[in-house]
Amino acid sequence: MSLNWKEINQILAELPLAGCHIQKIRQPDFQTLLLDLHRPGNSFTLLFSLAPGRLRFHQTQDPPASQIGLQRFAQFLRARISGGRISEAFQEGSDRLAALQIRRGEEETWLCFRLWGGSANILALDAQGLILDAFYRRPRRGEVSGGPFPLPRRDSLPGPGAEKYQSRFLPGGDSVHRQVERLYRRLEEQEELVRLTARVERLLADREAGINRGFALCREREAQALDPGEYKRIGDLLMANLGEIKKGDRWAEVDNFYDPGQRLKIELNPEAGPVENAQGYYKRAARSRAAGERARQERENLERELKILEEEKKAVLLPAQALLAASPGAPDREADPIPPEIILSLKEYLALHHRRTPDKTRDRGEGPPGLNFTLGDRRLLVGRNARENDELLRRHVRGSDYWLHTRDFSGAYVFIKAVPGKPPPLELLLDAGNLALFFSQGRRNGRGELYYTQVKYLRRAKDGPPGLVLPTQEKNLFIVLDQKRLDRIMKN
């Protein structure tokens, strides 16, 4: 669903980029860059997205809100091109590489947007084709500061096979960039709908499974409990035959006047007298009657809960499922927007459910030990000693979360709480790596090797001290302490 080269040409032809001044550079999240542009009589925002499957750029009338602090690449662009003027904007052949030539005074900068699946990036070049900085630094591809990158060519022709691509956006009516924005907003809404629907389905399935377990337990208790009337009848028979029973007897065999002509053998407590044995059976009758009443009330409660659950399915889940079933594939440019009340009802249900079943540690007024940082939509947990590391491992992280630790020094465990479907981006790993190095004995060196992996690949050391783990499938990360980065993190 990324833009193809013909669609990029359409957008470049439609947008009046040449002559625009760059007023502001923003980075609302780890995959998006915004340029606020101005020319006499016209101000607008240009959005560049490097999200997998949604590689694109276009004018936007509804830019996303900022979720993270100012990142390295955006800071560099502010210092380098803010206030500059775009002198040229073009695409190189059919390579899906758009280029902006920017001049600020005597300084020339090229901003190249490569919209290739799997290797998308935004690169800032100088006039000689040396990389000044990159949105994603990739040393293996040479995409780091100082690396060479061929300057884009204005006269490049479409390559072989380029003619097979067709644009999904037709001229006339809405502008192409409005069609692009509407299509990708609809795609993002659908992805959010799929994600929320799956979460609600899991929650409802868990609740229904719990109710069914409750029904099974009720049936088991009812099967184990004798009829209270049977206990009372045994007590009556003992009271009617007190003269034939003495203390120390283990059994009593009496005439059963409830079933004339039959003899009934009754087990006794040899340490109790005849009357106490009869009263014991009366008490068991009362307990059985009370247990039956509790089981009946529990069953009625479960039936009410099941009815409520079915009503919640109809009200919350079925509209979302019906909408997804009606449009199972990717939306097209003319697809209707998703009714906002459907997504809102799913979010409200999830919020309500989490209030019903709060985290047990929060019930006791306890939060995660150590330090807790919030960076955009991500949480970082830092254990500063063995006790905090062990407590975080046992009670506050899951298998999909990420774990970081210095390789050659003892120190903090840093955990990145997972977001479904979103592996941690490089900048977040660098943030977590700086914390891991800062809260370790390697801090005095100012640099060090780290390794990271998911929590599910950690194995506790047999007979080892608390918190000691052995990682598998780990990856390496080299960190140089960045004081500015640490200062930004500490504010969160």
The CA–CA distances, whole Å, from 332 to 115, 174, 279, 307, 309 equal 20, 15, 78, 38, 35
pLDDT per residue of the chain (492 residues) written in tens, 0 to 9: 678 778 887 888 888 899 999 999 999 999 999 999 999 888 999 999 998 888 888 889 888 888 888 899 999 999 999 999 999 999 888 788 899 999 999 999 999 998 887 889 999 999 999 999 999 998 888 889 999 998 888 877 777 766 777 777 766 667 787 887 888 888 888 888 889 999 999 988 988 898 888 888 877 777 666 677 888 888 888 888 888 888 888 888 888 888 887 888 888 888 888 899 889 888 888 887 777 777 777 788 888 888 888 988 898 889 888 888 887 666 655 667 778 888 888 888 887 766 444 444 433 445 688 888 888 778 899 998 888 888 899 889 999 999 999 987 888 899 999 888 788 999 999 999 999 998 888 888 888 899 999 999 998 877 777 778 888 888 999 999 988 898 888 876
Torsional sign, CA 9, 14, 20, 26: negative
Assess contact for 57 and 33: CB atoms under 8 A.
Answer: no
Angle between helices 340-356 and 176-224 (to 10 degrees): 40
Angle at 111 between CA 107 and CA 113, to 5 degrees: 175
Alpha helix ranges (H) inside 313-339:
318-326
Helix (H, G, I), strand (E, B) or coil at 114: strand
Angle at 459 between CA 455 and CA 463, to 5 degrees: 140
Q: What pLDDT, on the 0 to 100 scale, is given for residue 450?
A: 93
How far does the chain reach from its first CA to its final CA, in angstroms?
Answer: 35
Phi, psi (rounded to 5 degrees) for 156: -70, 140
Residue by residue, what is the 3-state secondary structure of 333-359? CCCCCCCHHHHHHHHHHHHHHHHHCCC
- Beta-bridge partners for 405: 451
Assess contact for 55 and 136: CB atoms under 8 A.
Answer: no
Assess contact for 19 and 39: CB atoms under 8 A.
Answer: yes
- CB within 8 A of 186, min separation 6: which ones? 331, 335, 337, 338
Token pair in block for residue 472: 């598998």
- CB within 8 A of 278, min separation 6: which ones? 235, 236, 238, 239, 242
What DSSP letter does each residue of 289-310 carry, written as one string? HHHHHHHHHHHHHHHHHHHHHH
Q: What pLDDT, on the 0 to 100 scale, is given for residue 361?
A: 40
The CA–CA distances, whole Å, from 266 to 247, 259, 433 equal 14, 15, 74
Helix (H, G, I), strand (E, B) or coil at 380: strand
Q: What pLDDT, on the 0 to 100 scale, is given for residue 225?
A: 61
Helix (H, G, I), strand (E, B) or coil at 454: strand
